[in-house]
Structure 1
Amino acid sequence: MNWNAFNLYNYKTLACVLFLICHSFYNPTDSGAVQITQSNLDMVLASNEIVFINFYAEWCKFSNMLMPIFDEAADEVTKAGYDTGKVVMGKVDCDKEGAVATRFHITKYPTLKMFRNGMPAKKEYRGQRSVEAFADFIKKQLTDPVVTFGAIKELHDLSEDKRHIIGYMDRRDQPEYDTFRRVAANLKDECQFHVGFGDASQQMHPPGQPIVVFRTDRKKSTEPDETFTGSLLNFEELYKWAQEKCIPLVREITFENAEELTEEGLPFLILFHHPDDNESIKKYKEVIQNELEGEKQNMNFLTADGVRFEHPLHHLGKSITDLPLIAIDSFRHMYMFPDYKEMEKPGRLKQFLLDLYSGKLHREFHYGPDPDQPVLNLEVKVTTPPESTFKKLAPSKNRYTLLRDEL
């Protein structure tokens, strides 16, 4: 090799090494999740049906633990060969992209959010943090959100534990079905969606006039079926209506959704019931609907399986044999409604909430019932109401860096 050739070889080698070093430094995500910034965020959301984003901070140890797992999962999703525009896994460095973090109300690191058709899902991802779990989650999100029925009689067998949105259509290729399917994709975790075409549903609607109907969870609710009266060509209008129907005023709390419910920051009014007792749930929902709907900005109305949530009962000095019963968890203390049978008396349950707001529940737990006239009692025994048990189901410090603790 002559001197010029030797220098040229060394130059190319050095250039290649420098390129690799620079490429790794300035673009560390040539594989794995796509780096999302303020400049490309809207484009990514608009051009993909599913966008699954890891909001992280480089200084957060939990973010650093998750990052290689999330990147590997992104590679697995890429290998799965989904059609272009179907799905992308991305990540946002919240220190560098503060505007993006603020836009989506990030309050802890790492936060995993899914976006469908450009809209953020109501629920964060709170499942297992493994490559397999992430890949399975994506696969599930891409399954058809609408079940097609071939005859009206099939609708008689729908689960009475679930809420349903049913479409009666002429053809699969009509624009109203496209709107219906998009809404179903966004709310598939809240409701079950069904559709019938042609002969399967013609007796339920006039030709050329498709309709959509809501059916409640009949085992636990008394709401009647309701037909959508707006435009089936207007996504926002149908989505708003379906969202109101699919996400009820009274929800069930489970160990799976407790964290997200605590993050909403509202006290809980909880009916603890036996798992076989649906009647108390119906009565509770009727009272909430008729008397307390105006309090939904101040209180989360919930039902809980008293067998699964036996520990809070013990905290209240009760057991499964005392079900059903009602309690408030304020995230500081728990207060029990005096008598479940009093629930249906007009105004009793609302007064229970008002007594919480005024501090009366806390005061009476300490000092006994308020007297009609001021009485000086120097021998009052001070007690403490049971501490909240549901606050322990809030975001774990063993899984997240909570931003409020970093201030």
Structure 2
Amino acid sequence: MRISSKLTLALAALLPALTSVVASDVLDLAEDTFKGEVFDQDLALVEFFAPWCGHCKNLAPHYEEAATELQKKGIKLAKVDCTEHQNLCQEYGVNGYPTLKVFRNGTPADYSGPRKADGIISYMIKQSLPAVSDVTSSSHAEFIKSDKVVLVAYGDASHPVPSAYSELANSARDTYLFGQYTDSSLPSIPESPSLPAIVLYKSFDEGHSVFPASEIGNLDSEPGLLQEFIKINSVPLLDEISPENFGTYAEQGLPIAYLFADPSESESRDKLIEEIKPVAKANKGKINFVFIDAIKFIDHGKSLNLPGDSWPAFVIQDLAAQTKFPLTEPPSGKSIKTFVEKFVKGEIKASTKSAPIPATQNEPVYTLVADDWDNLFGDEKKDVFAEFYAPWCGHCQRLAPIWDTLGEKYTADSNIVIAKMDATENDIPPAAPFRVQGFPTLKFKAAGSSEFIDYNGDRSFDSLVEFVETHKKSTSGGNSTTGDDDEEVWEDEDAPEHDEL
């Protein structure tokens, strides 16, 4: 029997897809196979996904790569298509895609690790081990290289490992790999410290850091000493930052010093990085130094008050205080050294981005900018209800006509101000007692008060008016008018796509 050429072509086109399915190391589960494949496993990772989900598509190759590597260690990775198995996904509380859950003998827990192959592998290996692994002379060499950051405590019967080490391991096992070596035949320990000893092994910089022997005896009474040691030594001296590792730096709680550079000019960038390394080393534990792709993450640079049209550029960001300190001159080893020294001493003033102060305020809603902050909020006679928005925010766009109507209602009362601030063009001043975390953010400051009250109600006109009338403290500066009917509460909208940290 002859096979037509059209059928031959169709089969040829289908073959790669069939091969991919056959070769997959990710188990494809359904209601009737789920428990049999997952519940008898000491450890398994399951992805609940939808075929149309863009994030799921981005995760797929990383998940597949991790599955191939982790099956060597007896750890299953599986997936469930929630468009086909809705009841199963509902049973496990899936309300977004992808949702990843770690199963231990059938008991689920949320996966909180990275979504790149190496991060998934690292996270699941940590999950597969006890909080503190027993390390022997035969496993030592492999263990200290099994992750980017590995801690090993060394001790014996006469010099026991402090209990604070095990306690920290229990709370930080998702982040770091902990081992304990109590074999009578000790391996070669870096810098040959006396027992007990704690060494942090790392796949970057000098390769290891030894916890100070003089502080070992204080750990049980001051466990924070070990936490601080790990925090300082668990990130590279100067590495590239991206969405994949940004969380690691954010968790450190230290200011981040960014070198924004054009990757196409790698030679000059690398030269500058070498000039900066001594500065990074001198400030280790005070500031984390990184470099970043200025072209790909140009919006992040602009959010840090860099002009966005000249590279390289240097800026320090204090995440805790949400303040930014851009270097205003061309970066060099010398200029960055001087700038960092002044920053550490508190001699650099934070940069506050502001749109120009409007020449007139003729609209019913007051246009607030950062440079006009004290003028508006410093007036003790006025009640101020302010919206902090982003032009691209769907919620903000729908609120705009209601907010304008609210402003019109109080136009006749000069002591009640309805205001708005474009938070993409203006920074909240460092002295303000709050930071904007989402859009729109609505804050009310009553006359004679320094407190900013959050508005968390629905965004209908009547609800907003009721809130103002309940919280206002000013003496009426005129008569207000009646407003419009309620506005329906809306659904969420996505922001435009762009590269972010």
TM interval, shorter chain, is 0.3 to 0.5
Structure with bigger helix share is: 1
Q: TM-score, normalised by structure 2?
A: 0.35
Q: Larger C-alpha radius of gyration, 1 or 2?
A: 2
